């Protein structure tokens, strides 16, 4: 009974820790695994049980198609290791999820004691003299090498500085982050954690070697969904974001849309890459109100994606459509750039999406480049960090041989 009480007390300590603070899904998972381990110690829980009983997945959940449980277990395993390396260094009881199982394990912390071999007084004396002699020789050699190395470094540094001076290169200046980049992205640099980039990976039916098409819920069974592919525009978009945030000295976390959870939406600033027609997670959070994505239902453009201008102003079209899909090559495209409030009002979500994968790439590049950002901030009347408010914008994109070569802001709502 005492062991059970100690185990439960350790779980409560973990749940109240800073390491797991704000992660409702991981806390729920940990509590479930703890109860199962204490009540059914010889029977580890199944992936299906965890998916349906902890995360509310439907009865048709297939672990071969949905890796959500494995991802969450991996996150929990990392958090437990992080806790015991920081807050829990003195805890007498260690909780872990051993690899290869979903069963929680409890074991006492093993004290780290140095291993030593007894020696006689004579041996110790001889060893002391020998050690002292070796230490003096080691010190002399190390000192000599250090002097030589210092001289080499000094000479090399002097030559490098002289060469840079001769070439007119400053030795004191470092590349500065463009002001527009910092002003626009400031809200994503001050959150409690790293911003998340959620990129679309649409649901397909079929396989690459036999052909694929978009999943149609009206006629396709869910167990046939294949979601391992994403567009080339999304790939290049994530690269652009990583480069921009590198200049801002802020790391990013990247996640594909099918693994996105509402916990992510509540606890993090989010950057969505891809339209709601492919990045289906956008359907679960507050989205755009003025410029809305829609699939054309009939006519010659049936199946194409368009952007609906909900309240068109004088001179603005009611819809924005790219080059018809049945008339390649793509030369004209439209994209949405929108900053909206997240499910948690203290968090923000940025939506960067085109009607095609190339348009998505253009939308991301638009907010990662100094020149286009300066124009956008000017239109928004924003000049300093912290002043940016929610907005929605449509940009027109020129495309040449599958590459966005120019973008122009054509509609804006503050």
Contacts of 192 by beta carbon, 8 Å cutoff, 6+ apart: 22
Same domain, 192 and 292: yes
Last residue of a domain, one of 108, 129, 164: 108
**Can you tell me which residue has the tokens 């009939």?**
298
- CB atoms under 10 Å from CB of 237, counted, come to 29
Dist. CA 22–CA 83, nearest whole Å? 14
The pLDDT confidence band at residue 308, using thresholds 50, 70 and 90, is: very high
Specify the number of domains making up the chain.
2
Please indicate, yes or no, if residue 367 is contained in any of the structural domains. Answer: yes
The pairing of strands 291-295 and 225-226 is: unpaired
pLDDT for residue 37 is more than 90: no
Please indicate, yes or no, if residue 136 is contained in any of the structural domains. Answer: no
Same domain, 73 and 216: no
Across the chain, mean pLDDT equals 80
Residue 178 corresponds to which tokens in the numbers above? 């463009």
pLDDT attached to residue 121? 42
The pLDDT confidence band at residue 232, using thresholds 50, 70 and 90, is: confident
Same domain, 208 and 308: yes
Same domain, 193 and 335: yes
The answer to whether 226 and 205 are in contact (CB under 8 A) is yes
Please indicate, yes or no, if residue 284 is contained in any of the structural domains. Answer: yes
Contacts of 356 by beta carbon, 8 Å cutoff, 6+ apart: 231, 233, 305, 322, 330, 333
Contacts of 279 by beta carbon, 8 Å cutoff, 6+ apart: 198, 199, 200, 257, 272, 273, 353
Residue 312 corresponds to which tokens in the numbers above? 């068109």
Same domain, 274 and 389: yes
**Can you tell me which residue has the tokens 């048709």?**
60
The pLDDT confidence band at residue 165, using thresholds 50, 70 and 90, is: low
Please indicate, yes or no, if residue 377 is contained in any of the structural domains. Answer: yes
Q: How far is CA 326 from the centre of its chain?
A: 35
Same domain, 290 and 406: yes
Dist. CA 393–CA 289, nearest whole Å? 11
Residue 234 corresponds to which tokens in the numbers above? 């999304």
Q: What tens digit of pLDDT does each residue of 179-193 get? A: 899 999 999 988 777
Angle (deg, nearest 10), helices 357-366 and 232-247: 10
Last residue of a domain, one of 81, 108, 135: 108
What pTM does this model have?
Answer: 0.58
Same domain, 184 and 83: no
The pLDDT confidence band at residue 283, using thresholds 50, 70 and 90, is: low
Span 323-352, average pLDDT: 87
Last residue of a domain, one of 92, 108, 124: 108
The pLDDT confidence band at residue 128, using thresholds 50, 70 and 90, is: very low
Please indicate, yes or no, if residue 134 is contained in any of the structural domains. Answer: no
pLDDT attached to residue 101? 85
The answer to whether 51 and 72 are in contact (CB under 8 A) is no
Please indicate, yes or no, if residue 295 is contained in any of the structural domains. Answer: yes
3-state secondary structure of 407: strand
3-state secondary structure of 349: strand
Dist. CA 348–CA 339, nearest whole Å? 7
Please say whether the dihedral angle defined by the alpha carbons of residues 369, 371, 372 and 377, taken in this order, is positive or negative.
Answer: positive
Q: In this predicted model, which residue has the larger pLDDT, 172 or 299?
A: 299
Residue 38 corresponds to which tokens in the numbers above? 């204490």
Dist. CA 164–CA 185, nearest whole Å? 34
Domain around 253: 179-413
* Proportion of the chain above pLDDT 70, given as a percent: 81
Same domain, 104 and 183: no
Least confident span in 141-150, 243-252, 282-291? 141-150
Dist. CA 262–CA 284, nearest whole Å? 8
The answer to whether 278 and 260 are in contact (CB under 8 A) is no
Span 217-239, average pLDDT: 81
The pLDDT confidence band at residue 109, using thresholds 50, 70 and 90, is: confident
pLDDT attached to residue 170? 45
């Amino acid at each position: 009974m005492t062991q059970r009480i100690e185990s439960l007390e350790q779980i409560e300590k973990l749940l109240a820790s800073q390491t797991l603070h704000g992660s409702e899904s991981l806390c729920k998972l940990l509590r479930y695994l703890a109860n199962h381990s204490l009540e059914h110690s010889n029977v580890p829980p199944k992936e299906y049980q965890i998916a349906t009983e902890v995360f509310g997945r439907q009865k048709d959940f297939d672990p071969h198609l949905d890796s959500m449980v494995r991802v969450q277990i991996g996150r929990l395993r990392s958090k437990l290791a992080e806790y015991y390396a920081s807050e829990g260094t003195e805890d007498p009881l260690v909780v872990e999820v051993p690899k290869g199982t979903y069963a929680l394990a409890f074991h006492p912390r093993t004290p780290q004691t140095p291993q030593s071999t007894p020696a006689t007084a004579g041996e110790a004396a001889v060893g002391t003299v020998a050690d002292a002699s070796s230490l003096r020789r080691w010190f002399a050699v190390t000192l000599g090498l250090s002097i030589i190395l210092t001289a080499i470094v000094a000479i090399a540094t002097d030559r490098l500085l002289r060469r840079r001076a001769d070439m007119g290169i400053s030795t004191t200046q470092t590349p500065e982050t463009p002001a527009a980049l910092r002003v626009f992205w400031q809200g994503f640099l001050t959150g409690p954690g790293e911003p998340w980039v959620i990129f679309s990976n649409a649901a397909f039916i079929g396989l690459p070697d036999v052909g694929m098409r978009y999943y149609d819920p009206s006629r396709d069974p869910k167990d046939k969904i294949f979601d391992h592919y994403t567009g080339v525009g999304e790939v290049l978009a994530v690269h652009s974001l990583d480069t921009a945030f590198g200049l801002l000295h802020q790391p990013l976390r990247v996640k594909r849309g099918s693994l996105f959870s509402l916990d992510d939406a509540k606890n993090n600033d989010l950057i969505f890459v891809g339209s709601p027609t492919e990045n289906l997670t956008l359907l679960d959070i507050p989205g755009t109100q003025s410029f809305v994505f829609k699939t054309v239902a009939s006519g010659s453009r049936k199946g194409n994606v368009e952007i609906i201008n909900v309240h068109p102003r004088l001179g603005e079209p009611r819809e924005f459509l790219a080059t018809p899909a049945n008339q390649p090559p793509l030369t004209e495209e439209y994209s949405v750039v929108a900053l909206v409030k997240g499910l948690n009002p203290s968090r923000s979500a940025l939506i960067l999406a085109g009607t095609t994968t190339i348009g998505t790439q253009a939308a991301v590049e638009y907010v990662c480049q100094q020149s286009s950002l300066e124009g956008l901030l000017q239109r928004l009347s924003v000049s300093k960090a912290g002043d940016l408010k929610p907005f929605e914008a449509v940009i027109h994109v020129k495309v040449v041989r599958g590459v966005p070569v120019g973008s122009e802001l054509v509609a804006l709502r503050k």
